[in-house]
Structure 1
Amino acid sequence: MIPRASFLRRHVDSLTEKILTRWSSGWRDALASAIAAALAWILAYHFFGHAHPVFAAISAVVCLAPGLPSHGKQAVGLMVGVATGILVGEAALLLPDGYPLLRIGFATFSAISIAALYGLGAVVPIQAGVSAVLMLAVGPETAGVVRMLDVLVGAGVGLVFSQVLLTPNPIGIIDTSAKELLEKLARGFSKCQQALEENDSDKAKNAVLLFSTAHDSLITLENGISNARNTARWTLRGRFASREVKDIANRYERHAVRLYASSLLFSEAFADALRKKQGSPPASLHERIANVAGGCAAIANDNEKPMLLPVEPSQIEDAVSAPWQLCLQHMSTVESALVTFGFTTQNDANKTADPSSGLKSV
């Protein structure tokens, strides 16, 4: 049974890590939103003479706020939604004025329904409905052309920031997420190595918990792949690297789940084998665990590519107990999956050293 203090400490550490991760991924967009809002206000004030261009600043924030899958798509959707709401609001002003609530309800329903037909995201019907309500509530002098100009300024500033000044590297998005996953796996395999050296089944159980926490990083990687694809589709910088992004995203998408699952299965089989104490561990297991742990850490830290240890068939077929055989099987699956994440094999090294593919150099 896990002590209460240890349980609370682990959850506090996990919560702290999540908060720091969210802060690191959101503070840049928050800063960009603040700068863009001030810039949009200044531009709308000087170029159009709007005394209080609130909508320009708000539009910049709506386009650049943290957590959006695509800032460019958000900016386009904002402009389309506002334009739709203004047009519907202008048409609603032609209706009889005797029932204002009925007119607002009809205009809102119509604007949202029309905007939903575009299929451009939630921001479009939301802004269409808001614009229609504002048109009827405060009048076209404030919510009509004036607001549209402010929105164009704010969205334009947002597009400049998202497309030119602060465009993320889509390949870097995937790499960062993959490195986070590899770092957690490296800690898990290091704990397995320590448990094997000390023959400590409790530490093997802790390793299982470490691998379990890597699930959050797997979800982060999946979100990173989605963000990278959106970046490649909706930004200028992303379009230049769209083909490479597609290849990397497809490769990681296929193998990341396999790597996580095989690592978790290995840790569970390893803990079970160490607990049952049925025979000695395979002679090669310690070196293979150390190689995988060090390799995961090396890739996560941008060091040179690690090489998988060549394993002879005789090593796998050693007379070991069934629990250790299961460990070796899962370890082989882990090593196979890691090739996708940057590991090299002995065959790759031989090809690099001898381009003639096996011919002896003179």
Structure 2
Amino acid sequence: MARRTVSGLSVGGRRVALDVWLLLQATASATAAWLVARYVFDHPAPYFAPITAMVALTANLGERGLHAIRLLQGVLLGLLVGQLVLAALGKGPGTMALAVFVSLATARALRSAQVVVVQAAVSSILVVALGDQANGVQRLVDALTGAGIALVFSQLLFPPEPLALLRRAEAAALHAIADGLTTLADAIDQDDDGLAHQSVGELREVLDHLLELRRVGRTDTRVTRRVLTWRAKVVVREKENAEHLDLLGASCLMLARLVASADSDTRGRLQEPVRGLTDVIASLAGGLDDRDVRRRAADRSLELATRITAETAGAAASDRTFLAYGLRTVATDIVTFAGVDLTDTLEAIRAGALDQRVPPAKMPPGRLHRWAGRLLGRSRRLRGRARRSSARNGPSKERS
């Protein structure tokens, strides 16, 4: 519990620091847009320039530049529709309704984003309400100023870092999974059905983090088109690894449900492996940038998986067998997320229980290729230990 509190405080502190930094950027951009509109373009009341810059820079990281462009698109569309309707009908009672409807319908017909639709309607309302074409032109200048300042801040001064965005979303998901498994381990330790069902609920909430991870992944796909080739390759490789978090979240939820429905004696045997996998996931959450952390996480997960496989080999189907399968699935997903090819992972885990020669694995691409082969070597050693242990215990059982 203490470790979870410290971890939560650390994550919360980093999130607050990031939020403050982003708010400072939005404040600086709004101030800069107001100064440019007021003293460069001599607009006596440039309210819309700082609003545009501020709204653009309070969008999600990685989408701020796109948000600025969409704001500008909405303003242009609304100004055009408002001016045309005002010129055709004058300041009649139906002018406002027609301007709003046409701007909304046009934005929808163009399949524009929601912010474009809203800005188009707002701009057309202001044009018709003020009834001054000069004001529409000034609003366009303000929009261009605010969007330009926002693009300078988001694309030049503080450009998006797709890998950092992805790692941050991965870490949040891993921390949530680790918290759910910690509750599950506490439930096993205390033989508490209430805690077991609580862990199921916590792991269901991980879906929210996984949705955020998928959103960041889609954003990174757009961002990587504008970055250097070697950086794009790193981001794409990490995105492929991140996709395995969906499977890891699902396997942890399945394990929690199995534990919640198991009897006390059966679930009691899972205390050590569940704690071990929880520690592995927590270490990954705090060291995604560290290759050694990933290597140790994969090694430890493989060790747990092969031990579970060896202990349940040949056993009849039972609650314990299903629980072991759930644990092995979680371990497999961790190793795969760490960067090892799924085929190599499955071969290594099976080698811990089956008496067969494991062929040399193809080295997976990326930074982890130097140590992927060590996993198979470790699985062979674990297999040998399990065989020797079985040989020592066999005669004693026969004599008894």
Alpha-carbon distance between aligned partners in 2 of 1:137 and 1:235, rounded to the nearest angstrom: 43
| Aligned residues of 1:231 and 1:238 also touching (Cα < 8 A) | no
SS class of match (1:94): helix
Paired-residue identity, %? 26
For 1:102 and 1:75, the matched residues in 2 are separated by 31
Size of the aligned set, in residue pairs, is 333
Counterpart residue number, 1:301:
286
Matched to 1:102, the amino acid is G
Return the alpha-carbon distance in structure 2 between the equivalents of residues 350 and 85 of structure 1.
54
Amino acid at match of 1:268: R
Aligned counterpart, 1:44:
37
Q: How does 1:130-279 map to 2 (within 5 A)?
A: 130-193=122-185, 198=189, 200-202=190-192, 205-233=194-222, 241-253=231-243, 255-275=244-264, 277=265
Check conservation: 2:187, 2:195, Cα contact below 8 A.
no
Quote the residue 1:121 is aligned against: 113
SS of residue matched to 2:215: helix
Q: 1:206 to 1:114 in 2, by over 3 A?
A: same
CA distances 1:121-172 after superposition (whole Å, capped 9, x unpaired): 1122222222222222213355321111111000011111121223332222
Q: CA deviation at 1:296?
A: 1.0
Q: How far apart in 2 are the matches of 1:258 and 1:335? A: 11
**Comparing 104-113 with 74-83, which one deviates more in the overlay?**
104-113
When residues 184 and 21 of structure 1 are mapped into structure 2, their CA distance, relative to the original with a 3 A threshold, is same
Equivalent runs, 1:26-41 vs 2, <5 Å = 26-41=19-34
The one-letter amino acid of 1:293's match is T
Cα distance in 2 for partners of 1:65, 1:222 equals 20
Return the alpha-carbon distance in structure 1 between the equivalents of residues 147 and 315 of structure 2.
68
Q: Check whether the contact 1:225–1:249 (CA below 8 A) recurs between aligned residues.
A: no
Taking a change above 3 Å as real, the CA distance of residues 221 and 173 of structure 1, as seen in their structure-2 partners, is farther
Q: 1:122 to 1:90 in 2, by over 3 A?
A: same
For residue 44 of structure 1, what is the amino acid of its counterpart? Answer: A
Task: Provide the rounded CA distance (Å) in 2 between the counterparts of 1:207 and 1:24.
Answer: 34
Once the 2 structures are TM-superposed, how far is the Cα of residue 206 of structure 1 from its aligned partner?
1.8
Distance 1:89 1:141 in 2: 9
Letter in 1 for 2:277: V
Q: CA deviation at 1:317?
A: 2.0
Which stretch of structure 1 is more off in the superposition, 338-347 or 162-171?
338-347
Answer yes or no: is the 8 Å Cα contact 1:170–1:238 preserved in 2: no
1:55 Cα deviation (Å)? Answer: 1.0
**Residues 12-46 of structure 1 deviation map (CA, whole Å, 9 limit, x = unaligned):** xxxx9999898666444333222111110001112
Give how far 1:57 is off: 0.9
Q: Which moved more, 1:332-341 or 1:318-327?
A: 318-327
SS at match of 1:144: helix
In angstroms, what is the RMSD of aligned CA positions? 3.6
- State whether structure 2 residue 277 is matched by structure 1 residue 292: yes
Match of 1:86 in 2: 79
Q: Taking CA–CA contacts closer than 8 Å with sequence separation of 6 or more, which of the two structures ends up with the larger relative contact order? A: 1
Correspondence 1:311 to 2:306: yes
CA contact (8 A) 2:49 2:146 kept: yes
The separation in 1 between residues aligned to 2:274 and 2:238, in whole angstroms, is: 26
The aligned counterpart of 2:46 is 53
Contact conserved, 2:30 with 2:54, CA < 8 A, in 1?
yes
Q: 1:326 aligns with which of 322, 329, 332?
A: 322
Mapped to 2, the partners of 1:42 and 1:135 lie a distance apart of 24
Deviation, 1:214, is 3.5
Kept in 2, the 8 Å contact 1:181–1:214? The answer is no
Which residue of structure 1 lines up, in the alignment, with residue 335 of structure 2? 339
Distance 1:92 1:350 in 2: 64
| 1:71–1:162 Cα contact (<8 Å) kept | yes
* Aligned with residue 57 of structure 2, among 64, 88, 91: 64
Residue type matched to 1:201 in 2?
A: D
The 10-residue stretch of structure 1 (81-90 or 313-322) with the greater mean CA deviation from structure 2: 313-322
Query: For 1:79-130, what per-residue CA distance to the aligned partner results, in whole angstroms no more than 9, with x for missing partners?
Result: 1221122222222232243x62212222222222222233231122222222
Q: 1:12 — aligned with what?
A: none
Q: Match for 1:112 among 83, 99, 104? A: 104
Distance in 1 separating the partners of 2:198 and 2:14: 20
Q: Which amino acid aligns with 1:296?
A: I
Q: Output the amino acid matched with 1:298.
A: S
Once residues 250 and 263 of structure 1 are traced to their aligned partners in structure 2, the CA distance between those partners, rounded to angstroms, is 20
- SS for the counterpart of 1:311 is helix
Q: Is the 8 A contact 1:131 1:143 kept in 2?
A: no
- Which residue number in structure 1 is paired with residue 6 of structure 2? none
Are the counterparts in 1 of residues 241 and 337 from structure 2 also a CA contact under 8 Å?
A: no
CA contact under 8 A between 1:30 and 1:65: conserved in structure 2? yes
SS class of match (1:49)? coil
Q: Which whole-Å CA distance do the structure 1 matches of 2:112 and 2:146 have between them? A: 19
Question: Which amino acid letter does the alignment assign opposite residue 33 of structure 1?
Answer: A
Structure 1: gaps spanning 5 or more residues: 1-15
CA contact (8 A) 1:64 1:158 kept: yes
Checking the alignment, whether the CA contact within 8 Å between 1:266 and 1:330 is kept in structure 2 is: yes
Q: What do the CA deviations read for 1:252-286 (whole angstroms, capped 9, x no partner)?
A: 33x323212211222232344342x36x966xx55
Shifted more, 216-225 versus 331-340: the winner is: 216-225
